[in-house]
Structure 1
Amino acid sequence: MEMVAFYYFLAFFLAFFLLSKQLFPDRKNLPPSGPLSFPIIGHLYLFKKPLHHTLARVAAQYGPILLLNFGSRRVLLVSSPSVAEECFTTNDIVFANRPNFLFGKYLGFDSTVLSLASYGQHWRNLRRLTTLQIFSSTRLQMFSKIRTNEVHSLLRRLVVAGNSSKTVEMKSTFFELTLNNIMMMIARKRYYSDKARHFQELVEEMVDVAGASNVVDFLPLLRWVGFNGLEKKLLRLQRKRDQIMQELIEEHRMARTQSKDEKSLIDVLLSLQENDPNYYTDEIILGIMHVLLNAGTDTTAGTMEWAMSLLLNHPEVLKKAQAEIDTIVGQDRLLNESDVANLPYLHGIINETLRLYPAVPLLVPHESSEECIVGGFTIPRGTMLLVNQWAIHKDPKLWEEPTKFRPERMEGIGGVRDGYKLMPFGSGRRSCPGEGLALRMVGLTLGSLIQCFDWERVDEELVDMTEGARLTLPKAKPLEAKCKPRPAMLSFLSQL
């Protein structure tokens, strides 16, 4: 009976939709709508994985600014750096909201937890807090010892693998590295392989769910007829995640004896909670911890895996990077984090990796809080903004031979941005606050692996560079590689 009622409702809605379009045409100067839009579902039929590839093909055919309909949601699809610049400068505040998705309701991103959806004073307060306590230059420098220790721990494990000629599975290796780094910052606690796998499964499942095409977010009426399977899965993940994190909070609440310099993020948040318990609730603390874990592990580990895959497929680039480190750092000590700033070719490798394989190929969606003008077109209030940076990074009008791995093209680019044609961490007030942390971790790790080991593929075949289908950009086939300690570095590696 529920399905019969649903079909009747669908037929009525379709008739009403078609009649209203004829009687009340929209006369505003809207952007072109691109391909055929069907009643009710609109352009949802375009949801084919990987979505950034599909939307890039649509933009190549119909133009760099399109107004699509994903079910009940208007979506502004941008595939041009000039239009993206207009969104993140002139209209930055207008697009400062995030759309409310079912994923956010349960996993820490909605307006009741971190106000990551609604831009306002609460969001600004928490953004300021995380910037000062985690991502400021002072705090990043304070955490540098953690990053060094984690990289050295990785080097020790690789020496054992190299001496025994074992193949190294790089995906889990990089994930454990980034997980331990984030958990040391959050709770001064490392998670070794057994617990790391448990965390990895949880975080990966969260990311998978986030990247799922949740039709209820675009056709809310389906919730009325029992389409709640994803919601049940999200609730289960939320309970599992909160149980793990709440245990950490209680541990720190019971033992608040660390010195000021050794305080973890949990200790800082608990201190704030003592002064203002109504604002800094456990729910807020849990939300911040979750966002750091979700945003700071999978993406950073994935970037390092893509970079190593590219280097293995281009051994001449690997040798050139090794020569740069040998010349600037030398072979009489291990590379440290301060050395990375003096290694322009290594920076080129990182930037070129982020261009070819951005961690988030479709920038995290924004939503307009009021009507605005973009590219000369009127954009209605409540429109979701999708910037396809993967398409921008591959645009042959912007990049010569855009599919080729050429670190040399990044010479002269300061940092990791090149206007709005290279912005792997987003732009505007909603850009990723963890950019500095990610670049430090990636730079130190890759530089150390290049300096200390000779690397080779497991066989003669090139590394498979097929992309996986997810919100972030994983490799479809995890990277495996072989390494051998470089003779000149053996004495230093043996002292770790």
Structure 2
Amino acid sequence: MEFWFIFLTLCICFVLKLFLNLILDKKYNKREHKLKLPLPPGPFTFPIIGNFFWLRKSFLDLEPILRELHAKYGPVVSLHIGSQRAIFIKTHALAHQALIKNGAIFASRPPLLLIHRFDINSMGFGPVWRLLRRNLTTEMLHPSRLKSYAHARKWVLQVLINKLKVESQSGNAVLVTNHIRYANFSLLVFMCFGKKLDEKEVREIEAIQTTILRNTSRFNVLVFLPWLGRIFFRKLWNELLEILRKQENLLIPLIKARNSKLEEDFADSYVDTLLDLKLPDDGRKLSEAELVSLCSEFLIAGTDSTSTALQWILANLVKHQHIQSKLATEIDGVVGPGEEINEEDLQKMPYLKAVVLEGLRRHPPMHFLLPHAVTEDTTLNGYLIPKNSTTVNVTVAEISRDPHTWEDPMEFRPERFLSSIVEGEEVIDITGKKEIKMMPFGAGRRICPALGLALLHMEYFLANLVRDFEWKARDGDDIDLSEKIHLSVVMKNPLHALIYSRRR
């Protein structure tokens, strides 16, 4: 009975989508005739089911499909995914034109996913977004504020080193992934709430955040016609509500503690900056649910991408021992035996920076930017980009591995960045202001505001991990550097099992 109920619901949704597509296509055709411009090309769209046959192999493994489409139709292609037309941009020149030259037009987002509710990444371009982003960049991510958290980075690093020491002394292979992610997450929890929580509390918050991240795609069905989803997918809807309830039960007490000034003896936190904000539309302060959503975004965005990138870099150091040896030599030349690596020391390590940049180029944590939306009808490469029911996506990995831009792009070669770092040449600008050659943090008005924080954490942890340990593969193991991308979940990394010994 339940099967037929779900089947009937899906049929209703498909029929409604058909009518929606017919209406939108008619509207788009009128615009095409008026502007004398076509929509971006793509495969034939079947009535009701859209581009289902193109996505039948694996909806999550979209990159091979896009390579075929770009080879056939050019650098801008479109697919019907759900009720929206998804436009994909492949080349760095068109990405620069859209995100930098026409940044204001391409600065918005598609309608919010239900699970995100209220956060900077998903919010449409407007005064509330500007207020929240400005607060984050000036109050939390300013260099002076980042410097004030040096003691917290030192504390978290020591926790990580101690855990690795204990496990490495057993002589067995160690699963490094969880330790790196926990250390990064602990640091972000401290920055968010201004308090050192014990491991049990951190693990509980980490578990619920991971659950939310990994189940986002499952809950997307509730975004399409939400009123139907709540009725016909009641079990899924209740599951979502239960997850959000658990999250609020964990985070709201920490927020209230800051609001009631019970934690005055601890560092300033992200929550402190949010509690003082007033929204521009009605002057009200943020609600508890909005505070929870913003804190959740801070923890997820600051943890997963940084941890994933760091693990890819370590995997490449294991694969390429000569690069690891060269990096260790540079570190030993800057910091003597037994000396602490200060953040000022990182500025004296150009090869360290080159290794981090090459890791971000070769293995960007996300292969697609979060979808953009245009604020008005516009054009790109001679095609109409309509305002409504259209998402604009940029293929980050394809751009950073373009053989026309990078020599031997699939090789892990940090030396390609050294001249720009040592000589101060603007060969590589990862913000993309002048030219986009790679964009692991995005570009334009929606560039990741925590770019500086992410680079600092990667350089700081990597320098200490390479100085204190020699990273090797377990006997008989080969490091798998192949990648499987998931659109809604941060890419899994290849750093499965390693052993390491104390570096002399």
Say whether the fold is shared (TM-score over 0.5). Answer: yes
Q: 2-side partners of 1:8 and 1:231: how far apart?
A: 19
Tell me if 1:389 matches 2:416: no
Q: How does 1:110-259 map to 2 (within 5 A)?
A: 116-211=122-217, 214=220, 217=223, 223=229, 226-227=232-233, 230-256=236-262, 258=264
For the pair 1:60 / 2:76, whether they are aligned, the reply is: no
From 79, 98, 101, the equivalent of 1:90 is 101
CA separation of 1:280/1:80 partners in 2, compared to 1, >3 Å: closer, same or farther? same
1:404 aligns with 2:411: yes
Determine if the alignment matches structure 1 residue 269 to structure 2 residue 274.
yes
Using the TM superposition, give the Cα deviation of residue 378 of structure 1 relative to its aligned residue in structure 2, in angstroms: 1.8
Find the residue that maps to 1:97 and give its secondary structure.
Answer: coil
Q: Say whether the 8 Å CA contact 1:56–1:388 is kept in structure 2.
A: no
C-alpha RMSD of the superposition: 3.2
* 1:36 aligned partner: 44
Return the match for 2:82 from 34, 52, 71: 71
3-state SS, counterpart of residue 68 of structure 1? strand
SS at match of 2:491: coil
* TM, length-normalised to structure 2: 0.85
SS at match of 1:214: helix
Say whether residues 1:370 and 2:387 are aligned partners: no
- Structure 1 residue 74: Cα displacement: 1.7
- 1:294 is displaced (CA, Å) by 1.2
- Whether the 8 Å CA contact 1:305–1:479 is kept in 2: the answer is no
Q: In 2 relative to 1, CA 37–215 (structure 1 residues): closer, same or farther, beyond 3 Å?
A: farther
CA distance in 1, matches of 2:208, 2:483: 21
Contact 1:168–1:482, Cα closer than 8 Å, also in 2: yes
Q: Give ranges in structure 2 of 5+ residues lacking alignment.
A: 421-426
Identity of counterpart residues, as a percentage? 28
Quote the Cα distance in structure 1 between the aligned partners of 2:22 and 2:471. Answer: 61
Alignment of 1:285-304 (within 5 A): 285-304=291-310
Partner of 2:436: 420
Deviation at 1:287, TM superposition (A): 2.3
C-alpha spacing 1:176/1:192, structure 2 compared with 1 (3 Å): farther
**Contact 1:33-1:67 within 8 A present in 2 as well:** yes
The one-letter code matched in structure 2 to 1:144 is A
Compared CA separation, residues 219 and 86, structure 1 to 2 (3 A): farther
After superposition, the Cα gap between the structure-2 partners of 1:377 and 1:264, relative to the gap in structure 1 and judged at 3 Å, is same
Question: What do the CA deviations read for 1:61-92 (whole angstroms, capped 9, x no partner)?
Answer: 43211132223212221011111111112321
How many residues matched?
480
2:447 matched to which residue of 1? 431
In structure 2, C-alpha distance between the alignment counterparts of 1:195 and 1:220, rounded to whole Å: 34
Per-residue CA shift, 1:386-418, capped at 9, x if unaligned? 111011122222222222111112221556456
How far residue 213 of structure 1 moved from its aligned partner, in angstroms, is: 8.6
Q: Is the 8 A contact 2:205 2:247 kept in 1?
A: no
Give the C-alpha shift of residue 209 in structure 1. Answer: 2.2
Give the partner amino acid of 1:120.
G
Once the 2 structures are TM-superposed, how far is the Cα of residue 172 of structure 1 from its aligned partner? 0.6
Is residue 447 of structure 1 aligned with residue 472 of structure 2? Answer: no
Contact 1:115 1:122 in 2 (8 A): no
Aligned to 2:424: none
Whether 2:481 is the aligned partner of 1:475: answer: no
Map of 1:494 onto structure 2? none
Preserved CA contact (<8 Å) 1:31 1:66: no
2:344 aligned counterpart, secondary structure: helix
In structure 2, the residue matched to 1:461 is 477
1:393 and 1:422 in contact (8 A); partners too: yes
Relative to 1, partners in 2 of residues 1:472 and 1:325: Cα closer, same or farther, differing over 3 Å?
A: farther
Partners of 1:361 and 1:473 within 8 A in 2: no
- Return the alpha-carbon distance in structure 2 between the equivalents of residues 284 and 14 of structure 1: 35
**Is the 1:108–1:290 Cα contact (8 Å) retained in structure 2?**
no
